[in-house]
Structure 1
Amino acid sequence: MMVLYEGPRLLDFAKAPAHLQFNKYVLTGYRPVSTAEECVRSLFYMHNELGNIYTHGIPFFLFLVLLPFSIPWKEVDSIWICVVHYLACLCPTMGSVLYHLFMNHVGGEHVYDTLLSLDMVGVCLVNTLGAIPIIYITLLCYPSVQQTALLVYILLSAHGIYCATTARTNVRRLRSFVWQALFRFSLFLFRVYGSGVGSPNSLRLFVIMDCLALLGGLVNIVQIPERFKPGLFDNWGNSHQIMHVMVICSIIYLHWGTLEDLAWIKSYQCPAE
C-alpha cells in the first residue's frame, strides 16, 4: 500500500530528530530530515505520519467541496454565519495536514515549532468560529448581550491561541481550550434553563461535538493503544490518528447542529417585550 514512490530509508525512534521524539511508543517509521519536495513525496510511501496526513487531508477536501452544497446560503438572512461556519469546519484540518506533512523539514526545530503553532491556531479557530453561530442564535433575543458575549468569546479565544501556541506539552495544549469550552457550556445551560433560544434538536449535537473533541484530546494525552503494545501501532491505529478521527466526527456534529439552528432560525420570531 502507498508504494507509488520509493521513499528513503526510515529511521527508528532513537535516530529520529530530537524534536520528533514526542511519542516513545511509536518505535519505527520516522522520515529523515527532508526538503519540502521530499516531504510532499512522502505522501506516496508508508511512514508513521502517513495516517495522520490522510485522516485529516481527505476530510479537508471532502469538507471543502461538499459542505457548501449542504449549507442553506440563500435561506439565511445573515449569510456571514454560513461563511464563518464553513471556515470553522476547514481550519483544523488544513493546519494539521501542513504540520504532519512538513514536520521533518530541513529547517529543523524552528520550522517544526512554526508548523505546530499553525496546527494549534487551526484548532483554536474551529473553537472560535464554530461557536460564533451558537452564540449568535442562543442570544438572538438579547442583541446587546449577544454583542458582549461575542466580544468576550473572541478575547477568550485570543488567550487560548496564545496558550496553545506557547505550550510545550499535550496536557497544557488541551488546557488552553478550557475557558472556551466552559463558555460554550454556559450557553448550553442558558438554552436549557434560561431564556436562550435555538433548535430543540441542535443542543444534543453540540454536546456530542464537545465530548468527542475532549475524548480525542484525552486519548492523545494518554497515548492509547500504543502504550500497551509499543511498535504495533507505529503506522496505523495510534492515539494521534484516533484523535484525528474524533476531531472529524466532532466537526460533523458541529455541522449538523449548526444546520439545525439555521433551519430553525428561518421561522423563529423573538417575543415582543
Structure 2
Amino acid sequence: MLSLKLPRLLSIDQMPQVFHEQGILFGYRHPQSSATACILSLFQMTNETLNIWTHLLPFWFFVWRFVTALYGIDVQNDSYSWPLLVYMSTSCVYPLASSCAHTFSSMSKNARHICYFLDYGAVNLFSLGSAIAYCAYSFPDTLVCTPFRDYYMTLAVLNTIISIGLSCYSRFLELHKPGLCKMLRILAFAYPYTWDSLPIFYRVFLFPGESPQNEVTLYHQKHVVMTLLATFFYSAHLPERLAPGCFDYIGHSHQLFHVCVILATHMQMEAILLDKTLRKEWLVANARALSFPQIAGAILLCLIFSLINIIYFSSALYRMPEPELHKKET
C-alpha cells in the first residue's frame, strides 16, 4: 500500500522570526519545505491548513458563479456585460492567489515574502475589478452623470498602484517597526476599498430609497459589515492573542479574516448581479457605458504596475543583508 510521510511540524521556538505569527505557538511547517511538502500540508492539520482551504474552496464556488454568469451572454457583442466578466474574473483570481501564497510560503524566507507580494497584487486586481463593476452597475442615480463618475476609474487605478507599493514595502518593516508595518498594510487596502465603495455608501446610507435598489440594499449592507469584521480580525489578532497556543490550528484570527472576506465578496457579487439586472434599462438609457479601451486600459495598468512593484521588491530581498530578513510576521 502506498503511504506518504507527512512533514514534521515545529513549534515557534524552532522557527526563524520571519515565520512567527502572534499568538500561534505550534503547528509550523519547516521553514525550508519542498514544494511537494507544501502541497502535502494541504492534507495535514497545520496552522496554515484552514488558511489555505478557506480560500481554495470558495475559489471553485466563484468559478462556478462565473461560469453560470456567462450563460446567455454574447461576450463579443454585449458590452454591457463586460464589466461583470472582469469583476467575476478578478473575484476568482484573489482567493486562488491567496491559497497558493499560504501553501508555498514555507519554502524559504524570501519565498514567503514573494508569495505575499503576489497575493497583494491579486487583491489589488480584485479591488479594481470591484470598482469597474460599481462604476458600470451600482452608481447612485444622482452621481451617474457627474464629474465624480468621470474621474472615479482614474483614481481607482491610481489607488491600486499606490496600494501594491505600500503593501509590499510594509513587509520590510516587520522586524523593527511592526506597528508601522501593520498600519501601512491596513491603510494600503482600506484606502482603495473606501474609495471604491463611496458610491455604495452614498446609496446605502444617504439615499437608500432611490432607484429599484431596495432589493440589493441588504446585500450591500452585509458586504460592508463583513468587510469591517474582516478588518477587525486582521488587525486585532483575536482570539489567539488572548490565549496563545489555544487557536493554533482552528479559530485563529487569520482564518476568521478569510471567512469574513469570502462572505463579503459573496454579498458583493450578489448585489452587483442584481444591480446589473434590475438597473439595466435605466442605466442603458441614462449612463455612458464603460468602453473596452477604458476597461482594458485600467486592468493593463494595474497588472503592469503590480508586476513592476513585485519584481522590484522581490529583487530587493536578495540585495538585503541576511539579518534583515529575520522579520516578525504581523
TM-score band by shorter chain is 0.7 to 0.9
Flag the 1:93–1:215 CA change in 2: closer, same or farther, 3 A.
same
| Partner of residue 59, structure 1 | 58
Do structure 1's residue 165 and structure 2's residue 168 form an aligned pair? yes
Displacement of 1:197 in angstroms is: 6.2
Q: Distance in 2 between matches of 1:92 and 1:193?
A: 31
1:60-209 counterparts in 2 under 5 A? Answer: 60-70=59-69, 74=73, 77-105=79-107, 108-137=108-137, 138=139, 141-142=144-145, 146-168=149-171, 169-191=181-203, 192-193=206-207, 199-209=213-223
Do structure 1's residue 16 and structure 2's residue 15 form an aligned pair? yes
| Partner of residue 49, structure 2 | 50
Displacement of 1:143 in angstroms is: 7.8
Give the counterpart letter for 1:56 in structure 2.
H
SS in 2 for 1:74: coil
| Partner of residue 226, structure 2 | 212
Do structure 1's residue 260 and structure 2's residue 260 form an aligned pair? no
Displacement of 1:206 in angstroms is: 2.5
Flag the 1:186–1:77 CA change in 2: closer, same or farther, 3 A.
same
Q: Distance in 2 between matches of 1:234 and 1:5?
A: 24
SS in 2 for 1:268: helix
Q: Distance in 1 between matches of 2:135 and 2:49?
A: 37
Flag the 1:207–1:156 CA change in 2: closer, same or farther, 3 A.
farther
Displacement of 1:83 in angstroms is: 1.1
Q: Distance in 2 between matches of 1:16 and 1:153?
A: 39
Give the counterpart letter for 1:264 in structure 2.
L
Preserved contact between residue 91 and residue 122 of structure 1 (Cα < 8 Å): yes
Displacement of 1:77 in angstroms is: 4.6
Over the matched positions of the two proteins, sequence identity in percent amounts to 24
Q: Distance in 2 between matches of 1:73 and 1:156?
A: 34
Q: Distance in 1 between matches of 2:72 and 2:109?
A: 43
Aligned length: 266
Larger RCO, structure (CA 8 Å, separation 6 or more) = 2
SS in 2 for 1:258: helix
Flag the 1:73–1:162 CA change in 2: closer, same or farther, 3 A.
farther
Unaligned 5+ runs, structure 2: 172-180, 288-330
Displacement of 1:216 in angstroms is: 1.1
Q: Distance in 1 between matches of 2:131 and 2:215?
A: 17
Q: Distance in 1 between matches of 2:63 and 2:237?
A: 30
SS in 2 for 1:240: helix
SS in 1 for 2:214: coil
Q: CA RMSD in A?
A: 2.7
Displacement of 1:170 in angstroms is: 3.3
Displacement of 1:69 in angstroms is: 1.1
Preserved contact between residue 36 and residue 102 of structure 1 (Cα < 8 Å): yes
SS in 1 for 2:73: helix
Flag the 1:201–1:71 CA change in 2: closer, same or farther, 3 A.
farther
Q: Which structure has the highest helix share of the two?
A: 2
Q: Distance in 2 between matches of 1:64 and 1:200?
A: 27
Residue by residue over 1:109-155, the C-alpha shift from the partner in whole angstroms, topping out at 9 and shown as x without a partner, is 22111111111122222222112111223178428653421112111
